[in-house]
Structure 1
C-alpha cells in the first residue's frame, strides 16, 4: 500500500512530466520571457522546470543539513528521471566498494561486453547507494548498448579526500583484474561520470594511463576540474540555475576540508600532469553551468597534451541535465546524444 509521501511524489512527478509534455508554444508561454545570457538562450524545458520549482517553493538541498539534503536530491532525481527500463540490474562489490551493474537487452547474451565504469555526481556528498543516478545509468546502458558498472564510492564529509578518489581507482583496477567474470571487454572499456563524478572519472583515467591499465574512452559530463580558481562561468551562473555558489562551497569544504589539499592534482585536475597514453575523451558542458569554463579548460589541457578530445557544449542546459531523462524533450535528447557518443567511443 502506498504511503502519503509516495502518493504526493507520484502526483508531483505526473504534474512535472505532464507540463513538460505540453506543445512547445504552450510551454514557451508558461515559461515566460526567454532567458538569454552570454549569447545563449536557456532551454524552454529547463526554464519551465525551474519556474515550477520556484512556484512550489522547493528549497535546494544545500539549504538543509547534509543527511536531509541527500533525501531531497534523491526525490528530485526521481522526479526528473522517470522509470527507465533496463534488462538486468545487480548489486555486488569490487575491492570492497559497492557497485551496481546495468546490462541492456542488446548485450545480455555476450560474454565480453563494452562497458562503462560510471561515477555519479553530487558534489562528493550526495548520491550514495545509487540514489540519484539510477535512471541515468539505465538510460545510458540501453541507449548506448553498453554494460554500466556504477561505483558507490565513499562520500564526504564522513570520508573526505582522497577517499572517493581511492575507491574509484580501486574499483577500476578490480574491473580490469576481474574482466572475464564481469564479462567486460577490455578493448572496449570506458570511465565516465558527471560533475564530481566527472572529476573522479578523469582522475581515474589519468591513473589508468600512469599504471598501464587498459582504457578505451573517457566520458566527462560537466566535470569539476578546479577547486582553487574562480572561472567566469562560476561568477556568471552562481545562482538561479540549479547549481549554486553555496552548493559548490559546501561540496568543496566537505570533500577537501584541509585547504592545502585543494591544489592536489587528484582533485584540481587543471594541475595534473597528463601521462602518455591517456584515453580519448568526450567532454560535455552545459551553457548555464558554473562549471562550464573549467570543464572546457580541462578539455584544452588534454588536447595540448596530445589526447584525442571532442568537446560539446549544450548551450541551453544547466548543471544536472544528465538526470533529466524522464521529462520533456531537451533532456532526453541531450543525454541520448551523449549515449550515441559513448557507443561510438566504444565501437569495435
Structure 2
C-alpha cells in the first residue's frame, strides 16, 4: 500500500528547508541532539496513559559501572514484566525518547516495564551495550520474580533483545515467556537491506545502518559473531516471538527473513507487517493514527502469546 498520508506530510514538512543532514554526516553528539529534538518527550500530564507510574532506579553492572532503568507500573497489574531495550542504532536514543511507547505497553498489557538505559556506542561499543542489557534483564528478574518475563526492543534494541534471548537459552538462568522484536536489524552485511524495495527508506537508509554498525562493532571481523550476525545464528530453542516490520523500511526484508528462519527453527512466531509505515513508527503513536493502530496490534499479538493462545506458523501469519 502507499506510504501513510500523515507520514508523507510529516516527511515533506521535514524536508521543506532542504534535505536533512544524515546522522552519518554529523558528529555523534549532534546526531544525538537531533534524535532527542525529534523524539516525543515525556508529557507532564502523563499523556493518554497518565495512570502509569514511572520511577528511575540505578543498577550495578557486571563491570562495576551503573546504569539507569525506568520502571513503569500500570494501574492494573496482570503479573507480567517486560525488559525493554530502546532503539537508536546503539548510538542514539534514551529513556525519554521511548517513554511514551513504554507507557503504552505497560497500560495495554498490565505489565511492569523496565526500560534500560544501556551504555551506547561509540564510547562503549559491542559487547558492552549487550552486557548492560543482560544485567538489566537479570535485575528485572530478581526484582519482579514469579512473573511472565518478556524481553522487548525496537530497532537496535530488538537486535540486542534477540541476542540476549540467545544468551539466556545457553545459560538457563533467565526464564523468558516471550520475545518482542520491532523492526530488528539482524544482517550486519546489509546485503538484504541493500537489495530491498526501499534501501533508502524514508527515515532510515542502508548508509545510515552502515554508520551505526561501524560505531557499534568497529572491528568488521566481530560482525560475523552470532550475537551480531543474528540472521545466520542458531535460532533453535528461543521463546515465542512477536516480530514487527514496516513496509517503507530498509530493514523490512531482513525482518521478514528472520521470521521465516525462526519458524524453520521451530520457534512460534507472530509476524506483524506495518503496511504504509516507516522505521520508527512505534514512537509515532501520538501523531500518526496508522502507527498507533499497528502498535496496538503488535501489543495484542504479544498479549495473545502470553495468554498461550494458539500460534500459527507460515507466510503472512507466521
Structure 2 length-normalised TM: 0.87
- Aligned partner of 1:317 in structure 2 is 277
- Aligned partner of 1:169 in structure 2 is 134
- Aligned partner of 2:76 in structure 1 is 106
- Aligned partner of 1:121 in structure 2 is 87
Q: Distance in 2 between matches of 1:287 and 1:77?
A: 21
Asked if 1:329 is matched to 2:294, the reply is no
The answer to which structure, 1 or 2, has the higher relative contact order (CA under 8 A, 6+ apart) is: 1
The one of 20, 31, 35 aligned to 1:69:
31
User: Are the counterparts in 2 of residues 225 and 267 from structure 1 also a CA contact under 8 Å?
Assistant: yes
- Aligned partner of 2:250 in structure 1 is 290
Greater share of residues in helix: 1
User: Are the counterparts in 2 of residues 233 and 291 from structure 1 also a CA contact under 8 Å?
Assistant: no
The one of 139, 144, 150 aligned to 2:109:
144
- Aligned partner of 1:281 in structure 2 is 241
Aligned pairs for 1:252-271 (under 5 A) are 252-271=213-232
Which stretch has the larger CA shift, 216-225 or 74-83?
A: 74-83
Q: Distance in 2 between matches of 1:144 and 1:56?
A: 41
Aligned pairs for 1:195-274 (under 5 A) are 195-212=155-172, 213-231=174-192, 235-239=196-200, 241-274=202-235
Cα shift at 1:347: 3.1
Cα shift at 1:146: 1.3
Cα shift at 1:246: 2.9
CA RMSD in angstroms comes to 2.1
Q: Distance in 2 between matches of 1:127 and 1:281?
A: 24
Cα shift at 1:198: 0.6
1:304-346 Cα offsets, whole Å, 9 max, x none, are 1111111121121100000001113111111111222222233
Q: Distance in 1 between matches of 2:195 and 2:212?
A: 14
Structure 1 length-normalised TM: 0.80
Q: Distance in 2 between matches of 1:337 and 1:185?
A: 26
Aligned pairs for 1:151-190 (under 5 A) are 151-176=116-141, 178=142, 182-186=143-147, 188-190=148-150
Asked if 1:49 is matched to 2:10, the reply is yes
Asked if 1:135 is matched to 2:100, the reply is yes
Q: Distance in 2 between matches of 1:80 and 1:61?
A: 25
Q: Distance in 2 between matches of 1:238 and 1:57?
A: 20
Cα shift at 1:249: 1.7
Q: Distance in 2 between matches of 1:344 and 1:289?
A: 26
- Aligned partner of 1:88 in structure 2 is 53
Q: Distance in 1 between matches of 2:42 and 2:55?
A: 23
Q: How many residues align?
A: 298
Cα shift at 1:61: 5.5
Q: Distance in 2 between matches of 1:336 and 1:54?
A: 29
User: Are the counterparts in 2 of residues 198 and 222 from structure 1 also a CA contact under 8 Å?
Assistant: yes
